[in-house]
Amino acid sequence: MDGKSFVPIAEGKNVPWRDKLLYEYYWERNYPQTPTIHALRTDDYKYIHYYGIWDIDELYDLKNDPGEMKNLIFDPAHQAMAKKMNREMFDLLQETGGMYIPLERDIGGQSNLRRKDGSRPADFPAELYKK
């Protein structure tokens, strides 16, 4: 995992530190139900972008909704924040070499079985239906 040592912070030193965290997860054949995910987290917001099979991004106001229960991605009052975080996320991906999808050889088994009596898929938000 890439990163910087936080020992100086633990030692009480005042050092420059990041104000956001970039999260990257790339789809794995062994776990096909988990798509490629990129996310950006700040102290105030979390923006999650799904690449590929999912089509609904997520935006959460962590100060007012720490449990992340209300997705604000379609909220008109949060459109500017969603666009800003999307732009910052892709800028960071560009800077860190994350603008590619790694391809790995198939190894191990797959975890893609479903239960006949399992829960049904969630409904799409109304904003995604054609008018």
For the chain, give every domain's residue range.
15-101
End-to-end CA distance of the chain: 45
pLDDT in tens, 60-108: 999 999 999 999 999 999 999 999 999 999 999 999 888 888 777 878 7
Helices H / strands E in the chain, number of each: 2, 4
pLDDT in tens, 100-130: 887 778 787 777 777 889 888 778 788 888 8
* 102 contacts: CB under 8 Å, gap ≥ 6: 26
CATH placement of domain 15-101: 3.30.1120.10
Q: Using alpha carbons, select from 100, 38, 46 the residue that is nearest to residue 69.
A: 46
Question: What's the pTM value of the predicted model, to 2 decimals?
Answer: 0.79
The burial of 20, by beta-carbon neighbours within 10 Å (0-12 exposed, 13-18 middle, 19 or more buried), is given as: middle
